Amino acid sequence: MVLALLKYGLSRRYPVREEIPRTPDLKKHYDVVIIGGGGHGVSLAYYLATKHGITDIAILEKGYLGGGNTARNTTVIRSNYITSQSIKFYAASMRLYENLANELDYNLMYSRRGQLTLSHSDGVSRALRLRADSGTFLGERNEILDRQQIKELVPSLNLDIEGRPILKGLWHPDAATARHDAVAWGYAIRACDRGVELHQKTQVTGLTLDKNKVTEVQTNRGNVSAGAVVQCVAGHSSVVAGMVGLRLPIRSFPLQAMVTHPVKPFLDPMVSSTALHCYISQSARGELVIGGGSDPYELYNTRSTLDMKESLAASALEMFPFIGDLKILRQWAGITDMTPDYSPVMGRSPLANYWLDAGWGTWGFKSTPASGIYLAQAIAEDRVPEMIRPFRLDRFETFDLVNEMGATAASH
Amino acid sequence: MKLMACPLNGPRNISEFICHGEFHNQPVPENTSDKDWADYVWLADNAAGVVREWWCHTPTNYWFIAERNTMTDEILRTYPSDDLGQSKETRS
């Protein structure tokens, strides 16, 4: 036994398998260069390879795979938006998520929990009703619950919050959660299986333009040319777009979240309050994930602040007073690229071969499969599919916005 | 508690202030194209580094200019908008 262990430990064949290949040398040219190795970047590469046979792809990641905002979100998958454009898009993403673990043959810890959005005023109740009906009209499952039904669904919830009693709830039974890292790992492994190159610790430092085309991508490991270049850099969209002289309708804010130490499972659905700007769910490990604290001014800094943690904790306590003795286990912030209408900016840029996957604010994780599959189609066919046309950059020139502020802001 | 130095009220808790975004000069509507106007309305520099912004101290409704670093979360300078002087001509 001991000898066998020693022999195995010293063997060259240990560890047995590297799922993500080591970063290879950069070639001079790729058909497609994807800037950003987060969920969106690797999802795009995966669908380019599997759906369109494009495998000459380099993903350039300045840090490590999925180490940016993919690692910092609170993993809510849902489609209960308000405009038909958004509902169709996020519903498509939800459907892809449902079968994704099978497709990738990788455990994503996908778990359908349902999401309950709470209203504390008549105005918000009406808005929830509109969201429910908009979704139902497009075939999504949504329901308005009264106080009794809410009590039965989440017995531990305090319905009589002082000054803000819970009046109604929007119940979205198909909402789910999944392991964020696993989504990035699964896509990356299967993309790399097909010949996609993932270049970690490779930072893009500049983009060379010739008239209307990006001719060269400059990195800290040398320069490459590409047929098409796509930026998938949530949290740094404006900075990278600035390298080709583009200004975007984006302002970047930190969003703070935290988890408590693990306790016995008591909370199955994800619960979100519109008035308290707080959402809460219990992870598979039993930790309470508490999020929703958007910083009041723009920053590219993921520090945490006591003010925000206090207000998040206060809101969580209003909903679940008995968690007062729990301790905060860890805290973090991600950078959200907020757009004026709370919808993404994706598709063509004004440049011929430069594509955008930006403005993912607080709705990026749930969009990971859909953004990849539709953007892959756009790039492969050089034609933007109907599904993502509403999110084009030039909608702002025509004031043709896709307003999701009410269905998105702070309540995820 | 993070402090911001208000040019009128001195150092105050930053929760008393509201940030109103990047300082831009408004283009003259009569001789601005629709595209340029839309750009002015929607687009932002969103710089990672030193920015110049409008802030307001809400209890006194006093509006002023703040320069701060969005990478380090440091407030570098605050001053009345009258002090923008010559730099007023160029867009920040």
The yes-or-no verdict on residue A135 having pLDDT over 80 is: yes
Element (H, E) at A300: none
Give per-residue pLDDT as tens, A224-234: 999 999 999 99
Q: Which residues contact A272 (CB under 8 A, 6 or more apart)?
A: A115, A116, A117, A118, A278, A279, A280, A292, A411, A412
Residue spans per domain, chain B: 3-89
Contact between A249 and B1 using a beta-carbon 8 Å cutoff: no
For A290-315, how does the pLDDT look when each residue is reduced to its tens digit (9 = 90+)? 998 789 999 999 999 999 999 999 99
Sorting pLDDT into bands at 50, 70 and 90, what band is B41? very high
Determine, for residues A238 and B46 on separate chains, whether the beta-carbon distance falls below 8 Å.
yes
Does residue A13 surpass a pLDDT of 80? no
Beta partners for residue B19, in sequence order: B55
Are A311 and A292 spatial neighbours (Cβ–Cβ below 8 Å)?
A: no
Neighbouring residues of A11: CB distance < 8 A, sequence distance ≥ 6: none
Quick one: closest CA in B to A246, which residue?
B45
Instruction: State the helix-helix crossing angle for A180-193 and A39-52, rounded to 10 degrees.
Output: 40
Chain A residues whose beta carbon lies within 8 Å of the beta carbon of residue B47: 238
Residue of chain B nearest A401, judged by CA positions:
B42
Which CATH code, of 3.30.70.1450, 3.30.420.130, 3.30.2270.10, 2.40.50.40, is assigned to B3-89? 3.30.2270.10
Give the whole-number percent of chain B exceeding pLDDT 90. Answer: 86
Q: Which of A188, A206, A207, A185 is nearest to A197 (CA)?
A: A188
B→A interface, C-beta within 8 Å: 1-2, 14-15, 18-19, 21, 34-35, 38-39, 41-48, 51, 70-73
CA distance A252 to B47: 9
Q: What is the pLDDT of residue A16?
A: 65
pLDDT at position A11 is: 80
Contact B73 A301 (CB under 8 A): yes
Shortest Cα–Cα distance, A250 to chain B (Å): 6
Mutate one of B15, B46, B69 to test the A interface: name it (highest A CB count within 10 A).
Answer: B46
* Global confidence as pTM: 0.94
Residue A368: pLDDT band (50, 70, 90) is: very high
| ipTM (interface pTM) | 0.91
Contact check, Cβ <8 Å, A251/B21? yes
Q: What integer pLDDT is reported at residue A410 of this predicted model?
A: 54
Kindly state the percentage of chain A with pLDDT values over 90.
92
DSSP-derived 3-state class of residue A1: coil
Other Cβ atoms closer than 10 A to A151: 14
3-state SS class at A346 = strand
Among all residues of chain A, which has the CA nearest to that of B15? A296
Q: For each of the domains in chain A, give its residue range(s) and CATH number, in order of start.
A: 27-73+181-250+341-408 (3.50.50.60), 115-173 (3.30.9.10), 251-259+280-338 (3.30.9.10)
Amino acid at A193: D
Q: Is the pLDDT of residue A412 over 70?
A: no
Residue A398 — very low, low, confident or very high, per pLDDT cuts 50/70/90? very high
pLDDT score of B89: 45
